[in-house]
Structure 1
Amino acid sequence: MIARLAGLFVLLAVPAQAQVVGDDAELVQVRPGPKRHFNGDQYDGPGKVRAAYVVAGDRLVAGEVRGKYRLVTFVPAGGGRHTTGWIESAALTRVSLPRATPASWIGDWTGWYADIAIARGARRGVLKASGEATYGMHDKDRVARGAINFGSFDGEAQPSGDRILFSDELCTVSLRLLGTYLLATDNGNCGGLNVSFSGVYRR
């Protein structure tokens, strides 16, 4: 962040946003016990206890660790609004994942701002994917003004274990299968301003 002070521009250090979608992401399950409330958010770190919570048996995507807390994201089955925050690591246990097969990928995956459909391709072992993403669709004011940005991609590729990469002209989308979740990251060239496929999805 750059601030102007007495005619001078000063570079201010801004804490990096914590990430739950990354190479270190794991599938975890809430241990038996009381319901676990989310703390803080990915922008400011652990903090105020929130009303949102998970219960024993819920499965979450877990990322960065800070002190006794771990950043997690929960998405309900079928997709929908994400809940991301910090939960005590002691309340979570890592889930062992079965080996991914081509059939493991197939389905309609729903995120908060985007959807990705994956089906069998024309050739053996190949998958085809199509995705549509928006920015501003959940903002009533932007919807009223017609200020919604869009993006899409289509492609075919062969998975390598729990990972697959789709490229469509300028847009590249990398997917990772994590149990009942699908993690996506893109190259920032997949549509209009602020449109992104990066995020967490469920079927």
Structure 2
Amino acid sequence: MRRLSISVTFLLTALAAGAAHADNRCGYGDFAYAAQDGVAVYNVSPPTGGRTYFQGDGEGCPGAPSCKLKSYLVTQDEVLASKVGNGWACAWYGKGDRHTVGWLKTSDLIKSAVAPSGEGDWLGAWRFGDNQITITRDKKGFRAEGEATWKGPASVHEGAFKGRIEVKGVAATYADPEGTEPFCSVDMRRVGRYMVVADSGSCGGASVSFDGVYVR
């Protein structure tokens, strides 16, 4: 009985450690998936002015000196944050074709007011890099058509989806017909002028992904 108790305790400890490690993840995919449960716009405002540096999600991060990245932001830069807690926010910053994701101190951020969004705000051609998602509406509801591309050193892989989407306020979902293999699903969430997208990982060729922050 004692051996069983020790084994169970070890297992629970390992699971807790794994969960804790997973909770500190803040890469592009982590940000996009977490955003489907909630995302907000913030402005950078370090209490002492100057710079606020992104931190990575390695062992002991965020918070340890080794977590500090070279990328930084300055006062009034605009970011999106999708996972906030314990004094840190998993944040995305983009300018042109350059994008950065990492942990930022919440003490260096001020939440921005965002105007209410209507159904018509979904419509249009949304772009993220070479990816595009076009949303239209007819008498039966909303439709989306997406195209994604991954460019490797010696090949190009493509992905696509097309069909009805279910829109509920600031969230929308596309899903292939039941029984489709591989099964593609795409979640979209709007905030301000942005649309954050996360897919199932089965919407195209190898390395193809719709994950990202889209604008019109």
C-alpha distance in structure 1 between counterparts of 2:57 and 2:163, whole Å:
31
Offset, 1:88: 1.6
Offset, 1:113: 5.9
Could you tell me which runs of 5 or more consecutive residues in structure 2 were left unpaired when the two chains were aligned: 1-13, 178-182
Q: Match of 2:200?
A: 187
Q: Match of 1:20?
A: 31
Question: Which protein has the larger Cα radius of gyration, Structure 1 or Structure 2?
Answer: 2
Q: Is the 8 A contact 1:42 1:84 kept in 2?
A: no
Q: Is the 8 A contact 1:166 1:174 kept in 2?
A: yes
Code of the aligned partner of 1:159: V
Q: Match of 1:116?
A: 133
Offset, 1:199: 2.5
SS in 1 for 2:98: coil
SS in 1 for 2:107: helix
Q: CA 1:188 to 1:48, structure 2 compared with 1: closer, same or farther past 3 Å?
A: closer
Q: Match of 2:144?
A: 129
Q: Match of 1:197?
A: 210
Q: Match of 2:7?
A: none
Q: Match of 1:8?
A: none
SS in 1 for 2:71: strand
More strand by share: 1
Where do 1:79-118 residues align within 5 Å?
Answer: 80-112=97-129, 114-118=131-135
C-alpha distance in structure 1 between counterparts of 2:215 and 2:199, whole Å:
17
Code of the aligned partner of 1:80: D
Q: CA 1:163 to 1:55, structure 2 compared with 1: closer, same or farther past 3 Å?
A: same
SS in 1 for 2:202: coil
More helix by share: 2
Percent of residue pairs bearing the same amino acid type: 28
RMSD between superposed Cα atoms in Å: 2.8
TM-score by length of 2: 0.70
TM-score by length of 1: 0.74
Could you tell me which runs of 5 or more consecutive residues in structure 1 were left unpaired when the two chains were aligned: 1-10
Summarize deviations over 1:15-67 as a string: whole Å, max 9, x none. Answer: 32333232143222223763433322245533444443323333211133464
Q: Is the 8 A contact 1:35 1:53 kept in 2?
A: no
C-alpha distance in structure 2 between counterparts of 1:42 and 1:26, whole Å:
20
Q: Is the 8 A contact 2:42 2:110 kept in 1?
A: yes
Offset, 1:110: 2.2
After TM superposition, where is structure 1 displaced by more than 6 Å over at least 4 residues in a row?
A: none
- Which residue, 154, 166, 172 being the options, matches 1:164? 172
C-alpha distance in structure 1 between counterparts of 2:167 and 2:193, whole Å:
17
C-alpha distance in structure 1 between counterparts of 2:210 and 2:58, whole Å:
20
C-alpha distance in structure 1 between counterparts of 2:51 and 2:105, whole Å:
8
2:45 maps to 1:37? no
